[in-house]
């Protein structure tokens, strides 16, 4: 069984106590990690705080080169990292439409390379005979990163690389379900970056709570559930600590009656089921016009029945297990509630009889707003297909949900679809696509889906403060 240590101030750290990391495809432990506590939080924050002055003064070019070296280390160790991601998350190495561990590690490389090249230029507000006024972007200090279990390595990169690029230092706390790929990444990065610039502690949720409430933490960046995000915001408020929160989503997709069903349904299916539906910005409520409702329901069910579900380490697997037992129970409960609400189970609907946390890809028809499966985020391999007849009404129904992460409109008329997509109350909107992210386009939610944005220059600025400099002449 593999053993993984924490990393503080560039050195491996053990606590004397460990916890098991479970492979969701087998429901058995494959690794052990250190059980950190408050003392390790103190050590890690102190190391990051001590490293900040020198790192923040490091030249822009040197930081750029070091982050490119980090990207190179990820690439050089890509097969190992892919295997770790698959074993801790259950996602396939390849996956449905190529969305699996290969994409997660490859995306980590690409995001690191792109972010390393970003610049924060000085903005000149005034430069005349009276005065010169400059606006500078300055690093904040110690950044706390709290990451979830669905995309552990990629989301760690989303948090850490812009923080480092801007000149901050970092303390990471990954989800206890999936810490190993992140631990290995930090080990690799620590061989390149100065001691204390990047640190990682592992342990239960209360360790993260201590970290986010620490007075020497200047910013918290968190990806996860809305309830946890609210607790983090509460703990950070004591010190007026800045927060970027990417929280839950219950994304709606609206299909207009002019689509080519055979062409679009595979894209719709992938948008709903990639990573087994365990993605914040996956399509989770599918609204279909009454004229094409039965046809699309039937086509979605056919795909669900034929997708290959299995161990992510096995070649050809498209969907893996649900990541943990608690989430599997949520998916089962929502399926049961769908049946009770009169939902028509067109495919799936039950657990798969094998070791691990497997659930059949499930398509449910004949539900509507107000049903639990429609109103709540399932975060698993299940999609409700909801009938509508009036476009204005369905946009209002889609917007009625408390979440506002993403949304999409599907149509052969892209101009009309774009106009409708802008009426959706969400941070990101897509036309004939859903959940497609890239490192140069900002991503973030509104309403109960969070605050702040990630990616590109907009995301990089989140890790800085503004200093206005006026030079009288």
Active site residues: 246, 280
Residue 434 DSSP one-character state: -
Judge whether 199 and 170 are in contact, CB under 8 Å.
yes
Within 164-300, strands assigned E span: 169-173, 198-200, 217-223, 242-246, 251-255, 283-289
Closest residue by Cα to residue 278 from 84, 100, 87, 27: 100
Compute the radius of gyration of the chain from its Cα atoms: 23
10 Å Cβ neighbour count for 436? 12
Question: In the chain, count of helices (H) and strands (E)?
Answer: 15, 23
Cα 432–chain centre separation: 21
Q: At what angle do helices 101-116 and 152-165 cross, to 10 degrees?
A: 10
Instruction: Count CA atoms within 13 Å of residue 166 on its CB side.
Output: 28
Helix ranges restricted to H, 192-351:
205-212, 226-237, 261-273, 293-306, 325-340
Contact 183, 153 (CB under 8 A): no
* Distance of alpha carbon 407 from alpha carbon 434, whole angstroms: 7
Provide the token pair at 283: 């399509």
Q: Alpha-carbon distance 161 to 113, whole Å?
A: 9
Tokens of 109: 């490389």
Report the distance separating Cα 244 and Cα 455, nearest Å.
12
Q: Which residues contact 138 (CB under 8 A, 6 or more apart)?
A: 56, 167, 464, 465, 466, 467
Cβ atoms of residues 237 and 209 within 8 Å: no
């Amino acid at each position: 069984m593999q053993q993984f240590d924490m990393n503080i101030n560039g050195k491996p750290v053990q606590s004397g106590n460990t916890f098991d990391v479970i492979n969701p495809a087998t429901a058995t432990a494959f690794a052990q990690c250190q059980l950190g506590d408050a003392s390790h939080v103190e050590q890690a924050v102190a190391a990051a705080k001590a490293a900040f002055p020198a790192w923040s003064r490091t030249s822009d070019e040197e930081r750029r080169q070091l982050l490119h070296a980090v990207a190179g280390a990820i690439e050089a160790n890509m097969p190992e990292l892919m295997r770790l991601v698959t074993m801790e998350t259950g996602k396939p190495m390849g996956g449905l439409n190529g969305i699996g561990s290969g994409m997660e590690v490859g995306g980590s490389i690409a995001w690191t390379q792109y972010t390393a090249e970003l610049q924060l230029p000085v903005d000149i507000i005034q430069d005349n005979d009276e005065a010169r006024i400059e606006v500078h972007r300055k690093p904040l200090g110690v950044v706390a990163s709290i990451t979830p279990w669905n995309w552990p390595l990629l989301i760690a990169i989303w948090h850490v690389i812009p923080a480092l690029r801007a000149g901050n230092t970092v303390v990471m706390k990954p989800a206890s379900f999936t810490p190993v790929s992140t631990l290995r990444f930090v080990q690799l990065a620590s061989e390149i970056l100065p001691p204390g610039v990047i640190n990682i502690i592992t342990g239960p949720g209360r360790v993260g709570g201590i970290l986010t409430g620490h007075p020497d933490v200047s910013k918290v960046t968190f990806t996860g559930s809305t309830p946890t995000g609210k607790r983090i915001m509460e703990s950070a408020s004591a010190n007026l600590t800045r927060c970027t929160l990417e929280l839950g989503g219950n994304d709606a997709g609206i299909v207009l009656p002019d689509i080519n069903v055979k062409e679009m349904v595979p894209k719709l299916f992938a948008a709903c089921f990639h990573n087994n539906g365990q993605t914040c910005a996956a399509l989770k409520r599918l609204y279909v016009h009454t004229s094409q409702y039965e046809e699309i329901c039937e086509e979605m069910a056919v795909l669900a029945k034929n997708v290959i579900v299995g161990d992510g380490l096995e070649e050809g697997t498209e969907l893996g297990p649900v990541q943990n037992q608690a989430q599997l129970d949520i998916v089962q409960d929502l399926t049961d509630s769908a049946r009770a609400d009169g939902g028509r189970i067109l495919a799936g609907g039950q657990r798969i009889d094998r070791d691990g946390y497997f659930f059949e890809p499930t398509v449910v028809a004949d539900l509507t707003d107000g049903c639990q499966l429609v109103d709540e985020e399932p975060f698993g391999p299940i999609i409700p297909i909801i009938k509508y007849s009036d476009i204005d009404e369905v946009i209002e129904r889609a917007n009625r949900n408390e979440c506002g992460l993403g949304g999409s409109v599907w149509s052969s008329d892209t101009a009309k679809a774009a106009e409708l997509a802008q009426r959706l109350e969400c941070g990101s909107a897509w036309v004939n696509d859903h959940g497609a992210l890239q490192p140069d386009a900002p991503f973030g939610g509104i309403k109960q889906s969070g605050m702040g944005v990630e990616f590109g220059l907009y995301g990089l600025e989140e890790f800085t403060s503004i200093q206005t400099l006026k030079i009288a002449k």
